Structure 1
Amino acid sequence: MKRFFHTLVALLLLAACTDGNNELGSKDPFSIPDKEGCNVKGTVFDDYGTPLEGIVVSDGLQTTQTDRNGHFWLSSDLSKRRFVTVTVPSGYEIESKEGLPQFFDRIPEGSTSFSTEFRLRSRRGNSDRFTVFMVGDPQIRARDRGYDKFAYHSIDMFEDMCRDMNKLCATMTDRPVYGIGLGDLIHEDANMWEIYRSGVKTLSFPMFGVIGNHDHDTKAPTDGEAIRPYEENIGPTNYSFDLGRLHFICLDNIVMKGDGAGGYSDGLSDEVYTWLCNDLKYVPKEKMIMICSHSSMFGKPGKDPVDVDKNGRLYAQKLSEYKYVHSWAGHSHINFNKVYSKSGENRLSNIEGHIVARATGALWLNEWVCSDGTPRGYYVVDVDGEKIEWHYHPCGNQLGVSNGLGDDYQMRVYSPSDYGDGYVYANVWAWDALWGSVLYTDNGPNAVAGRPMARIESYDKAYKECCDRSNSKPGNLAKEEFKPDTNVKHLFRIKPSDGATSCTVEVTDRFGRRYSASLDWDSASTSDMAL
């Protein structure tokens, strides 16, 4: 938020007052009266200097709303609270500085009281339509550190990602664009914050942040101290904002153990859960929510976070009261989507969980694919009112050179010889339970068109080839990281017809977009396109 020059705003407000019944006409709007028991106070106003009523303000634990004079008060433990944040309403712009959104003010260390103000600039044009890039785990690491350079380097892939997002953003001239980094922005090295921020500075849109386990100070004695480097470089770890008709929540769901070795557990600490409840009490139940965390809060391969994470069942119950909830996360370095209404679990039917693959490729290898075969990239979420659609966008650069991948690349098909079992495999990385069947047609003389492929769990052949290539290099050991996952959830297979030598695989996503990939087994070349 840009700060108004006090005298100018006061003059504007005084000039706008026309009768003595307006309290603002007889007092300095920045002379906020003290309130007993409160040590934090402030004002929120618009770009004309008009006080804004009903704006939600928080110290990271407690929340309150501004009164009709735009004033707010909080009783805060300033030995623990480091920010005052404002939940920017949908009718106002989210200002940014060097690519980082500015919706907060820092509380100086050692303060016993604090006063601040926020200026919100009115949004021009339709606020209901916008796009969000959901980015998982860039996890950049110093060039002179071990690992992280077996194929490509994470810093180079991060720079590719920034170039790609800017290129894509430039095509979206009819709506605002935002980004959300879903944690593990760096890898346990405070010197990397400068490089991360340098990349964000080049972006042509605001980039919000979520703290990941590797963004913490792993040597810190407490969870509260472990978040300090992130706070110093990015900002608050728990905050919310409104875009269009949606309420966005970004929070810290990594609880550090303070063991000096980076140990942590997933879930919401009691403090973060309290903040979440305090934020939601001002959100109407008919609102749709986008909640962003590092580790998935809803749905993972294996045990569900709702059942095993700290305060999981409490936050699930709280969020189940709202119209619809989309949970976005990284951490697992793979693509995974769970639609509870289609899971057969008879619970949380208003919630979906989305895990986003690592934007810079498989960990340490930083190859063109992640460990589940998803290409390096990010999700593009298009919003128009309450209509939310998304697709996975492969990064189109490799060391600054175009790799030819685009939005039509949504699956990879493997010939019967690739896995050695005579089956044709298809990896459809953004698949979820609301997609149509994956349909297979080949050129066999007695082929039946449009046979559905069966979903199975196995490894992805392209990633296995990357692992094998890296492990074959002199001096490289076959570390656990360089072994393919064997439980990829978006893999399909089918037996080809007798005499077939080529095939086409088609699938329609949940939004009606059809994708096709054709494979000639002799040339082993895949042709992918959106229909």
Structure 2
Amino acid sequence: MKKTFIYSALLFCGVLTAQTSVKGIVFEDLNQNGKKEKKEKGIANVAVTNGREVVLTDKKGNYELPLQSDAIIAVIKPSGYKIQVNKDNLPQFFYNHKPAGSPKGKFEGVAPTGKLPESVDFGLLSQKETNDFTALIFGDPQPYTLEEVDFFARGIVAEVEGIKNIPFGLSMGDLVGNDLSLFNPYIQAIKKIGIPWYNLLGNHDLNFDAKEDKLADETYEAHFGPANYAFNYGKVHFIVLDDVLYPDPRDHDGYWGGFTEEQMQFIANDLKTVPKENLIVLAFHIPISEPDGKDDSFRDEDRQKLFELLKDFPNTLSLSAHTHMQRQDFFEKKDGWLQETPHHHYNIGTTSGDWYSGKLDEKGIPISVMRDGTPKGYAFIHFNGNKYTVDYKVAGKPEDYQMKVFAPKVVAKAKRTKSGVFANFFMGSKKDKVVYRVDQGEWKEMEYVEVQDPSYVELVYEWELSEVLMPGKRSSDPEKSTHVWRGNIPSDLAIGEHAIEIKATDMFGKTHTANTTYRIDKVK
């Protein structure tokens, strides 16, 4: 009787242990069936996380982590290995532990996962990874309707479908526009690209009926897994984060940009496993930058805490989307950055552009130029060891289309004119140099100006000036752009047509050119 009692007590303790911790093994999945076979060896020194703590596997590939009743266990992909993807090309690097499932809400969350398995295992497959690679980045697909999913599929996805030599892609949040039933149509569109595709959470991907932040991503988790995770490729460590606080902790109305204490712990623990010389790339939806002094879109103390965690990593880059404009920001010591070399934050232009607005192109797809004059498109980030460069690709245009030029069509001979030539250099920033010349004359510097892009102004007000209804929908009002330059137009040249050449040198030393013409005529 006594032995039976002791056995029962031990069994009871075992159940408690199983409920408060999770164990498993990270192994080389040679036959790619997702199950650990006897001949398949464990992999040592692989990071695994519960969303807060991060541990490394032992020499046999074993790990153990604390466990709560609602948690996602995820492996942090090491360099030299690949994560298996499902039929929709979504990386399967996590185990969703929700024994009772998500709370009931407008949109379905995670179904009950039941009892925790005795071992939560992660199978990886070794692969050859070079330190020189390129990632494909999409900002805000954000369809509000199935029609807009179709615009996204035909206007963006079709252009990169079957792309080669790109190991993975990432969408920067606002995968859909409030209607979370569009997650599956979005997934079906994105899978056609044919490469592993990562995603992150945006403010339009939330369960808005949630009463607390930790429950606002239940439907996202059901489709994509954890909203906070990390992975390695080559010499680059990627940290993907949900930086949308919902409801807004200040007044419980709307949302605010920032991080939770648990996220900060995750970042701190994760970075302990990363070599200091590696490039750290952080991706989140809402920008950490607030260029307007009146802007309070991101909680300042969270940005500073993030900078504290990054202070010993000399190679960093952060990415965001959200604004439906494109911008390069640089944080210096005066901004709270704790290193001599400024931190580059790239706010990426969106694949939905200005929310699928504007005139329709020849395929019936909205041209959707953004409010700062940046055409809709996507980015390629090229990594070489711990260095990087970025190319922005305008959808439907040649790769070398990097500037939109606006100039008068005709000016009066020898008359003073306030007209100018404007260059909207889509990837530009105030730090860049843009020069121009007329008729192959002397190169002159263009003046950096923070103004509305006149070529976008022209697009918008065409709707007001048209005497017939135009297909599509009117674009949003123009806003000041952070990548426009202006040059004077000479009027003292010969009557006739004159050629303008513009040359921009970006932050990576790459040169881009654009051309236009204008005419000089006599006043009659």
Q: In structure 2, what is the equivalent of residue 164 of structure 1?
A: 159
Instruction: Report whether the alignment pairs 1:129 with 2:123.
Output: no
Question: Paired residue for 1:120?
Answer: 124
Q: Deviations over 1:326-355 (max 9, x none)?
A: 001100111111233599987543521000
Partner of 2:327: 336
2:437 corresponds, among 417, 438, 441, to: 441
Q: Are residues 448 and 308 of structure 1, via their aligned partners in 2, closer, same or farther at CA, if it must alter by over 3 Å? A: farther
Residue number in structure 1 paired with 2:99? 109
Q: Which runs of 5+ in 1 are unaligned?
A: 1-31, 145-152, 397-404, 524-531
Residue 465 in structure 1 maps to residue 458 in structure 2 = yes
Q: Is the 8 A contact 2:20 2:68 kept in 1?
A: no
CA distance in 1 between partners of 2:276 and 2:96 (Å) = 31
Q: What is the CA–CA distance in structure 1 between the aligned matches of 2:481 and 2:506, rounded to whole Å?
A: 19
What residue in structure 2 maps to residue 362 of structure 1?
354
**Is residue 141–residue 155 contact of structure 1 (8 Å, CA) maintained in 2?**
no
User: What corresponds to 1:382 in structure 2?
Assistant: 382
1-structure distance, mates of 2:151, 2:204? 19
| Corresponding position of 1:47 | 29
Q: How does 1:508-523 map to 2 (within 5 A)?
A: 508-522=505-519
1:93 corresponds in structure 2 to 82
| Aligned pairs (5 A) from 1:436-515 | 437-443=433-439, 449-470=442-463, 482-485=476-479, 487-500=480-493, 501-515=498-512
Instruction: State the Cα distance separating 1:470 from its structure 2 match.
Output: 4.2
Residues 146-185 of structure 1 mapped to structure 2, 5 A cutoff: 153=148, 155-166=150-161, 169-170=163-164, 172=165, 176-185=166-175
CA–CA separation in structure 2 for the residues paired with 1:386 and 1:268? 26
- Cα gap change, 1:244/1:416 in structure 2, threshold over 3 Å: closer, same or farther? same
Asked if the contact 1:219–1:258 (Cα under 8 Å) also holds between the matched residues in 2, the reply is no
**Contact persistence 1:339–1:432 (CA under 8 A):** no
**Higher Rg of the two aligned structures:** 2
Q: CA deviation at 1:367?
A: 2.8
Please say which of residues 254-263 and 320-329 is displaced more in the overlay: 254-263
Query: In the alignment, is the contact (CA less than 8 A) between 1:306 and 1:312 conserved in 2?
Result: no
Give the alignment partner of residue 178 of structure 2, picking from 188, 191, 209: 188
Q: Residues 260-339 of structure 1 correspond to what in structure 2 (within 5 A)? A: 263-298=254-289, 300=291, 302=293, 308-309=299-300, 311-339=302-330
Q: Which amino acid aligns with 1:130?
A: F
Code of the residue aligned with 1:483 in structure 2: it is: D
Tell me the amino acid that sits aligned with residue 464 of structure 1.
V
Instruction: State the shift of 1:513 in Å.
Output: 2.6
**2:257–2:297 contact (8 Å) kept in structure 1:** no
What letter matches 2:123 in structure 1?
A: R
Deviation readout 1:195-251 (Å, 9 max, x if unpaired): 101112212111111100001112221111110111111221000000000100000
Larger CA deviation: 361-370 vs 203-212: 361-370
TM superposition shift of 1:38: 4.5
User: What is the TM-score with the length of structure 1 in the denominator?
Assistant: 0.79
> For 1:36 and 1:362, how far apart are their aligned partners in 2?
50
Distance 1:441 1:512 in 2: 20
| Residue type of the alignment partner of 1:453 | M
Letter in 1 for 2:65: L
Deviation at 1:109, TM superposition (A): 2.5
Equivalent pair of 2:430/2:448 in contact (CA under 8 Å): no
Change in CA separation of 1:324 and 1:234 when aligned onto 2, cut-off 3 Å: same
Question: 1:299–1:338: 8 Å Cα contact kept in structure 2?
Answer: no
Per the alignment, residue 62 of structure 1 pairs with 53
Identity of aligned residues (%): 26
Secondary structure of the residue aligned to 1:271 is helix
The CA distance in 2 between the partners of 1:88 and 1:328, in whole Å, is 20
For residue 351 of structure 1, what is the aligned residue in structure 2? 343
Q: Quick check: 1:425–1:491 contact (8 Å CA) kept in 2? A: yes
Structure 2 unaligned regions, length at least 5: 1-13, 31-39, 101-113, 358-365, 412-416
Give the aligned length. Answer: 461
Output the CA distance in 2 between the equivalents of 1:392 and 1:139: 19
Would the alpha carbon gap of residues 326 and 346 (structure 1) be closer, same or farther in structure 2, given more than 3 Å must change?
closer
Structure-1 separation of matches of 2:372 and 2:126 = 43
Match of 1:284, as an amino acid? Answer: P
Q: Distance in 1 between matches of 2:53 and 2:465?
A: 55
The corresponding residue for 2:244 is 254
Q: Give the Cα–Cα distance (whole angstroms) in 2 for the partners of residues 104 and 36 of structure 1.
A: 18
1:53-111 Cα offsets, whole Å, 9 max, x none, are 11111111222111122111111212x31x21000101101322212111112224235
Pairwise CA RMSD: 3.2
Counterpart residue number, 2:200: 210
**Equivalent residue number for residue 5 of structure 1:** none
